Amino acid sequence: MQTQPRPFPREALGLLGRLAGLALALGAVGVASWVLARHHAGGEVLRFPWEALHRFVYAGQNPYHTLALLYGQALQDGVALTPEVYPFHTALLWFGPLALVNNFVTARALALSGAILASLATLAVAGKMFAWRPGKALSAWLGGFVLTWYFAAQALLSGNVTAVLPLLLLLAWSALRRERDALAGVLLAAAFIRPSLMVGVVVFVLLWSASRRRWGVWAGFWGLTIVLMAFSLWLLPSWPLDAARLAIQTRGSGVSPRALLVQALPGIGRQLGWLLVVGLGGLTLAEWVAAWGKPSHHALWTASLTVWSALLLAARLIPSDQVLLLVPLLLTWGYWLSRWKAYGRPAVWVTAGVLWLLPWLWFAPRWQLGAPTSPTLAMLFVPPLLVLPFLYTVRWWASRAHVLPLEDEMLS
C-alpha cells in the first residue's frame, strides 16, 4: 500500500515565515545603520568614550586622562559638547565590546543597530506590561514615534547611550511587576551608566523594595555592581579618583536646567533654580512617601515620575537625554489604552502627534545633522512640562489594584 506524503505542517511554515521576516528586518536595520554611520557625520557622544576605552585596551592609556584631553580639544575647537564622566565599571559593560572594534564607523554602526532594535523592543515591552491592543495603524505610528521623535532621533544619531535606557527601565518595571526581583536589580545596576540621571530612580526602587521586604532587588543590584566594581578595580585601581578628578575639572562645563536659568535671567535665575529644586524635589519625595509599602503598580508609577524629575534636576544634560521621557509616556499610554476604553486610542493619537510635531517645528531649525546641539531653556523645560500632566492623569489608576489588568489578561 502506497502512503501519501505527509503535508508540511502549517505551524512550521508560519515559523519559517516569521524567522525569514525577522532576518530581513535585522538585515534592513544593519544596512541602514551602516549607511548612516558611513555617509553621515555624527556619533559625537559615542566617539569620546569609545576612543578612551579603545586606547586603554590597545595602548594601556588611562581612559580618564584621554577623556580630559579630548574634552579639552573639543572646548578649544568650540564644539557644543557637554562632557560626561562615565563610571568605569558600567562603561566597561556598555562601551567595552565596542572598544574592541578598531574602526569607529563600524563601532557606531553596531551601536546604532542595537539602539534601533532596543527602541522598538521598548514599545513591545510596554505592550506586554499593559496588554494593550492599539491596532496595526497605531502600532506602526508608535513604532515610528520611538525612532523618529526629535529627541529619539538625536539620541540615535549622536550615539547617546541614554537611547537604550528606556528599554532597561521598562524591563525592570516588568520584572518588578512579576516579582522577578533579582532580574530587576540587575537591570537597574546595568542602567547606572548615567549616574546623574539614574541615581534617583535607583535609590527609590531600593528603598521601596526594602519597605516590601523584597530583598531580591538588593541582591541583584549589588551583586552585579560588586562584580563589575571588582573587575574594573582589577583593571584600573585608580579609576574612582581619576573619575572624580575629571568631574571636578569639567564641573563648569556641564549644562543643566538650573545653569540655563542663571544664564538667561542673571537677576533671579539662581533663586528660580533653587525654587525648581525645592519644588520638584518636594513633589518627588512626597510621592516616594505615598508609595512606601504600597504594591508594585503604585511604585512603578512613582519610579516613572522619578525618571521624569531627573530630567529637570540632573547636573549634566544634553537635549537627546529627553528620550527618557518615553518611560512615563509609554506608561501613560499603556493605561489610556487598557483602561480608557472610549477615548484612550484617540488620546494616544493626538498626544503622540503633538509631541512629535512640536519639537520638529520648534527645535529642528537649530539642529544640523551630525553636529551637537546646544541646549536651550525650551529644549530642557518644555518637553518634561508637557508630559507631567499626562502622567498624572493615570495616577488614580496606578495607585489602585482593582483597575489594573488581571494577570490572566496580560500577555506572557
Low-confidence stretches of the chain (pLDDT < 50) are: 1, 402, 406-412
User: According to the 3-state scheme, what is the secondary structure of 108-150?
Assistant: HHHHHHHHHHHHHHHHHHHHHHHCCCCCHHHHHHHHHHHHHCH
**What pLDDT, on the 0 to 100 scale, is given for residue 263?**
83
Cell of 191: 542602567
What is the reported pTM? Answer: 0.90
**What pLDDT, on the 0 to 100 scale, is given for residue 409?**
41
Cell 575647537, located at residue = 77
Contact 197, 87 (CB under 8 A): no
**What pLDDT, on the 0 to 100 scale, is given for residue 376?**
81
Q: How far apart are CA 248 and CA 239, in angstroms?
A: 14
Burial 94-107 (b: 16+ CB within 10 A, else e): bbbebbebeebeeb
**What pLDDT, on the 0 to 100 scale, is given for residue 168?**
95
Would 20 be classed as within a structural domain?
no
Would 306 be classed as within a structural domain?
yes
**What pLDDT, on the 0 to 100 scale, is given for residue 86?**
93
Would 219 be classed as within a structural domain?
yes
Would 9 be classed as within a structural domain?
no
Q: Could you read off the pLDDT of 99-156 as tens digits, one per residue?
A: 999 989 899 999 999 999 999 999 889 888 877 777 788 888 999 999 999 999 989 9
265 contact partners, CB below 8 Å, separation of at least 6: 272
* Number of domains observed in the structure of the chain: 1
373 contact partners, CB below 8 Å, separation of at least 6: 80, 154, 318, 319, 320, 363, 366, 367, 379
**What pLDDT, on the 0 to 100 scale, is given for residue 15?**
60
Would 365 be classed as within a structural domain?
yes
**What pLDDT, on the 0 to 100 scale, is given for residue 315?**
82
Contact 313, 274 (CB under 8 A): no
Would 256 be classed as within a structural domain?
yes
> Residue 284's closest CA among 255, 313, 325, 320?
313
**What pLDDT, on the 0 to 100 scale, is given for residue 411?**
35
Would 14 be classed as within a structural domain?
no
**What pLDDT, on the 0 to 100 scale, is given for residue 7?**
54
Owning domain of residue 51? 26-409
For the chain, percent of residues with pLDDT exceeding 90: 52
> Residue 63's closest CA among 251, 249, 246?
246
> How many other CB atoms sit within 10 Å of the CB of residue 167?
25
Would 77 be classed as within a structural domain?
yes
Contact 126, 330 (CB under 8 A): yes
**What pLDDT, on the 0 to 100 scale, is given for residue 9?**
63
